[in-house]
Amino acid sequence: MRRRHTHKSQPSWFARDDPLEHSAEGRCPSPAVGYALIAGSTLFLVLGSYAVFFSAFLPLTGIWVLDVLAKDTHYKYLMIMLISSGTGFVIANWVGWQYYRNS
């Protein structure tokens, strides 16, 4: 009686095609997406640095949103802290998921 082979001779990743070559969803994003990310990051940096650091030294600007941030003494730090602590949790979850998948 002949036994059936249940194990592949090559690793599972060896014969796979590159998904970026064949699928339409795998295209590289346009430069506009990159510019939007840079603009959003720069805007967040400027707004956050004004809210945390510069609002204590500068007079009120007359812009309603910036004046609310300048007058606030507690919650203006919340978004800055949520971004950094949330990023830490996301990275920890990603590393844990990689350990789980590769164990």
Query: Over pLDDT 90: what percentage of the chain?
Result: 25
- Can you give the pLDDT at residue 17? 57
Looking at residues 21-42, what average pLDDT do you find?
Answer: 81
In the chain, helix, strand, coil percent, each to 5? Answer: 60, 0, 40
- Can you give the pLDDT at residue 5? 61
Mean pLDDT taken over the chain: 80
- Can you give the pLDDT at residue 94? 93
Q: Please check the confidence at residue 63 and state whether its pLDDT lies above 90.
A: no
- Can you give the pLDDT at residue 20? 52
* Highest mean pLDDT pick, 2-6, 49-53, 54-58, 90-94: 90-94
- Please report the sign of the dihedral spanned by the C-alpha atoms of residue 80, residue 43, residue 60, residue 58: positive
- Can you give the pLDDT at residue 36? 95
Domain ranges of the chain: 28-102
Class of residue 51 by CB neighbours under 10 A (exposed 0-12, middle 13-18, buried 19+): buried
- Can you give the pLDDT at residue 75? 81
